[in-house]
Structure 1
């Protein structure tokens, strides 16, 4: 695609180049550079604990040497099952320094999910939290796991917090005793015994595998997206170019997005290291803690998910907090309702813009402009060196602006393919073009809109209904805090629209009032015929509402009714 066809380029601010020169280096080089240029700058702030870039690099070298001593070889997959913490950052870079391939694992995974991921990636070494060890031990015999390195949240807490944490665990009977089994090691002991001498990642080219990032598995078992050093280096550099007001060695980023999710890994951890920025780490989203950290540590950037911003703007004391340090928030992982964006900006004075990406693209491909006028309700423009197009759902033909089809993307941040799944790779990756599974359109200016997931589209009485259209209207209702729409089986219409709604605290509204509200704003066939009020909605760890869970509940109800 020639630049003349990329209509979005004319909307780039002059500070953002159309093309970038990417360094041919392993991802670890960003940490080496940050520690060289800003050795005493705080890399991490974690519940009162501070670590400089020099300290993080030294700990990464020590753990890399320890991993090599355990037999980790170039290309070997090493699992990391940790919440946001100093250990998560150290382990990530240590694995790459040792030449291994990082496999990020959600600490909340239960036996089935954990066994699948460890087995699929052939993980022999795992770094995990003591609190998940019992689950790891349950599946160990069914996997190739040989070495388990254990750490505790308390390992990186300052005194007296560390002492209080241990006391609290014993008092609440949550203290975890780790057996002295063969193949089980304590992270702190390994670090104390290992060399701190510098180590270069055994890097051959940008095509070297750095990460197996598993997809959410909403349509079956999770697949491992093969992301290379070049993929991750590129997406970091693209972020740096797009967020052009960020200054190396001066900014700080609030790390509420989990690093075991590709979005948090790139736009918080890797991006922060690239900028030699301070990461203010949050092990678990808690809106009171988030507000306190913003006031105390004054972060300049706060990447998040829509549900995080929803939680903050609905905090009863939000106006008491000074959030003026935040220059920008990049929202991803799920659609950002316009009402949430406007309310957040009104309350905080910070800028909140929507972006877009996928696990398979490291992940970011699009974003709205941050400091210039952009288009609300869109995912923005493709990032530098990224191509995007809309194709017909049936024929694959490229569609002109304004027409609805499937979004495809192409760029140097797109994965090599799925781990051990050439057939699955061939379905989504053709001539470098990645089929996203998202339905959208592009306007005359090159702004892209996501209408919905292809698999989430509701077909009721022959009409195509996109859940996001209905959800945007529901969010406009003054009593609605959260809403999600799914298509449930209907004997007459095939599917019918059902809305699940969480009301704001102290608000009351009837199903009839919701229907009347929608009837004034939507075509009749889009109006939810079924409405269910809930205290909360099922969500993933990054706050994405799990439609599949809701749909499975509906299908189970139907089965029970027919029994």
Structure 2
């Protein structure tokens, strides 16, 4: 039985709520003195969920305001609202009911957005499937999540052979629509009444998937999201009403979908592209005067690797925020980006399960490059040793545990992450510095013991990419008869560089302890990564 909260805990909750409201007001999400607008916003979000609710609110506020822009052009908030009404009505007439599981395997474009909105209006949970998954992973996930409706882009048709017994719809096509036997979203929407449907009893929510780098991806449901939870981002990331966001991170990823929902709630125009291209990103940012750019670290690296001549062709002076999340941001990459774009780097640390944990502001980054910052309002972070004892001293590495109103309540297969003192394990290890800034030292299962010394590969990786001839680097532990384990480095050189293994080892030896020097060095043309840029360490050996 859960104990009742203490007076101190209740007071803390009241203070946290007040601070959250203040953060939302500063961003423009609390329309004081328009109390009627505030009530309408809360009502729409409660009935339809944060995504469909946000679009309805924005459409009411300014029907002609542009909601998204993709390769086919702009769609206003009003058009998004009407088209999703039509799709929701069409699905309802085809037997889709509240609770029916809808899955989307799509790149970032209007078809995916309208699908998300329609699912919310039906009260149907939406499973966002990773476009980088293999055929067996997709089939396993569809079966486990009991998918009834599948919306997908034509390019993924060959991956779906193992998925049976579901109604299929094409969201994006690269060929003539007339030749398709399957229903196409565009045609369904055009031929269906776009009047609103009655609101569902409860929003369907979203189901995000883990990366699947260690097996079948697990489902992490997000059934409810309070408007106050937006403060967890806005407290340390100064997004504002009515601006423009370029979305580089894919919408199926926690980074992309969280910032997409927040941008729509703020009435921002969101620029989408089916595939990431570094120079095209700069072109779109300049054209739409984007104030925020949402990326994973590998995307940011590809942009800065274009070099000053290419970057200088585009006016990026509108950018106030480069929001980076999804994997570790190497200090060298963040520093180079700061030199090019100014103090705009916001480095978020979180996961599919815990959602937001900490955010490093540009001021944090300037003080301590590589940090993931501090917890925003509504979040708590603590470190524990292997015995579950709290670590409070700076520069002592421990397991990272997070408390957040956005944290999930367990995987869809019934499993859960470890919990200590009400905080959820992130699966990472890290340390705080003397200023309370958090640093992530690696995954708790990536630490190796070499000759009795604990080594976290990420420290060596971050050093290697500082070398002017190294574009990317990955370090893993491999078996060693004498030391138990030893480090092996995989290095991608910059164009035209001719670094050899001895030079790599010498560079590490000059900067780190002897036991952190990789005994083995292998040069690769590129590192294996998934669709969100996360390193696939299991493919390195």
* Cα pair 2:101 2:148 within 8 Å, conserved: yes
Q: Is the counterpart of residue 478 in structure 1 residue 468 in structure 2?
A: yes
TM-score, reference length from structure 1 = 0.84
Q: Is the counterpart of residue 280 in structure 1 residue 271 in structure 2?
A: yes
Deviations 1:15-66 (A, max 9, x none): 7589999957222221111111121111111125111111011111111111
Q: Is the counterpart of residue 127 in structure 1 residue 151 in structure 2?
A: yes
Pairwise CA distance, 1:235: 4.1
1:140 aligns to what? 163
Deviations 1:142-197 (A, max 9, x none): xx42x10113256xxxxxxxxxxx5xxxxxxxx798653xxx32212211222211
RMSD of the alignment, in Å?
Answer: 2.8
Q: What SS does structure 2 have at the residue aligned with 1:198?
A: coil
Q: Is the counterpart of residue 397 in structure 1 residue 389 in structure 2?
A: yes
Q: What SS does structure 2 have at the residue aligned with 1:496?
A: strand
2:210 aligns to what? 215
1:236 aligns to what? 230
Structure 1's unaligned 5+ residue stretches are 155-165, 167-174, 555-563
Q: 2:185 aligns with which of 184, 187, 190?
A: 187
Q: For the structure 1 residues 479 and 5, does the alpha-carbon distance in structure 2 shift closer, same or farther, using more than 3 Å as the test?
A: farther
Pairwise CA distance, 1:295: 2.4
Q: What SS does structure 1 have at the residue aligned with 2:532?
A: coil
Distance 1:119 1:389 in 2: 37
* Cα pair 1:374 1:380 within 8 Å, conserved: no
Q: Is the counterpart of residue 261 in structure 1 residue 281 in structure 2?
A: no
Q: Is the counterpart of residue 320 in structure 1 residue 313 in structure 2?
A: yes
Q: For the structure 1 residues 433 and 14, does the alpha-carbon distance in structure 2 shift closer, same or farther, using more than 3 Å as the test?
A: closer
Pairwise CA distance, 1:406: 0.5
Q: Is the counterpart of residue 105 in structure 1 residue 137 in structure 2?
A: no
Q: 1:528 aligns with which of 502, 511, 518?
A: 518
1:382 aligns to what? 375
* Cα pair 1:353 1:368 within 8 Å, conserved: yes
- Compare 37-46 and 95-104 and name the one that shifted more: 37-46
Q: What SS does structure 1 have at the residue aligned with 2:163?
A: helix
* Cα pair 1:256 1:304 within 8 Å, conserved: yes
Q: What SS does structure 2 have at the residue aligned with 1:127?
A: strand
Q: For the structure 1 residues 496 and 257, does the alpha-carbon distance in structure 2 shift closer, same or farther, using more than 3 Å as the test?
A: same
1:72 aligns to what? 96
Q: Is the counterpart of residue 290 in structure 1 residue 285 in structure 2?
A: no
Q: Is the counterpart of residue 309 in structure 1 residue 312 in structure 2?
A: no
Deviations 1:367-410 (A, max 9, x none): 01246765322111112111110011x21111113221101011
* Cα pair 1:31 1:273 within 8 Å, conserved: yes
Q: 1:59 aligns with which of 78, 83, 105?
A: 83
Q: For the structure 1 residues 13 and 58, does the alpha-carbon distance in structure 2 shift closer, same or farther, using more than 3 Å as the test?
A: closer
Q: For the structure 1 residues 72 and 401, does the alpha-carbon distance in structure 2 shift closer, same or farther, using more than 3 Å as the test?
A: farther
1:334 aligns to what? 327
Distance 1:388 1:247 in 2: 26
Distance 1:385 1:525 in 2: 40
Q: For the structure 1 residues 177 and 499, does the alpha-carbon distance in structure 2 shift closer, same or farther, using more than 3 Å as the test?
A: farther
Q: Is the counterpart of residue 351 in structure 1 residue 369 in structure 2?
A: no
Structure 2's unaligned 5+ residue stretches are 1-7, 31-40
Q: How many residue pairs are counted as aligned between the two chains? A: 509
Q: For the structure 1 residues 415 and 117, does the alpha-carbon distance in structure 2 shift closer, same or farther, using more than 3 Å as the test?
A: same
* Cα pair 2:356 2:404 within 8 Å, conserved: no
* Cα pair 1:130 1:178 within 8 Å, conserved: no
Q: For the structure 1 residues 375 and 178, does the alpha-carbon distance in structure 2 shift closer, same or farther, using more than 3 Å as the test?
A: farther
Pairwise CA distance, 1:119: 0.5
* Cα pair 1:379 1:448 within 8 Å, conserved: yes
2:4 aligns to what? none
* Cα pair 1:380 1:448 within 8 Å, conserved: yes
Pairwise CA distance, 1:5: 11
Distance 1:195 1:125 in 2: 21
Q: Is the counterpart of residue 415 in structure 1 residue 408 in structure 2?
A: yes
Write out aligned runs for 1:430-445 (5 A). 432-445=422-435
Distance 1:259 1:17 in 2: 23
Distance 1:482 1:431 in 2: 38
Q: 2:219 aligns with which of 216, 224, 227?
A: 224
Deviations 1:302-341 (A, max 9, x none): 1111111111111142333322221111211111111111
